[in-house]
Amino acid sequence: MARSSKKIRRLVELFHDVETTERAKVADLGRQITELRIAQDELLGRLSEPTPQSEPFLPLISRSIGNMDRRLQRLNREHEDAVRRYAQAAGRTRGARELFADVRAEEDRKTEQKDLESLLEFQQSTTAQGRGKSDRTS
């Protein structure tokens, strides 16, 4: 494999690793958002149906719901950014793979051309050797 295709192959691997990392971040943020929504819904349920035991804690529950809402908004922004970075990483990986395929095809074409040139030289040398021989047989 030529040096250029080795370098591009390493780039493809690097971009793929970045893409995998970004995909993991998107999944992790999605999981955090889901868990936070579930916890927020549980607290909203407690707030909507207070019991004598939970009444003293209603202001705390309300504050917790507000904090969760702010965290949820932050996580949603982070998730959007992560999705955007993931899409960009996937595009870079795809572009690098296409470039790698083009470079490999060019290297294959050059190798084939060298092989054909070697074959032509061999045929020409064989033909030239045949011309130098005399027609008599010994």
Q: What pLDDT, in 10s, does the model give residues 81-105?
A: 999 999 999 999 999 999 999 999 9
Q: 107-123: string of b/e by CB count within 10 Å (b at 16+)? A: eeeeeeeeeeeeeeeee
- Residue 73 pLDDT: 97
According to the CATH classification, is domain 3-124 in 1.10.3470? no
Name the residue with tokens 């020409």: 124
Query: Model pTM?
Result: 0.71
Residues of the chain with pLDDT under 70: 1, 130-138
Name the residue with tokens 């982070």: 78
Helix axes 3-48, 58-131, angle to 10 degrees: 160
CB within 8 Å of 8: residues ≥ 6 apart: 96, 99, 100, 103
> What are the E-state strand segments in the chain?
none
- Residue 53 pLDDT: 82
pLDDT in tens, 32-41: 999 999 999 9
| Extents of the domains making up the chain | 3-124
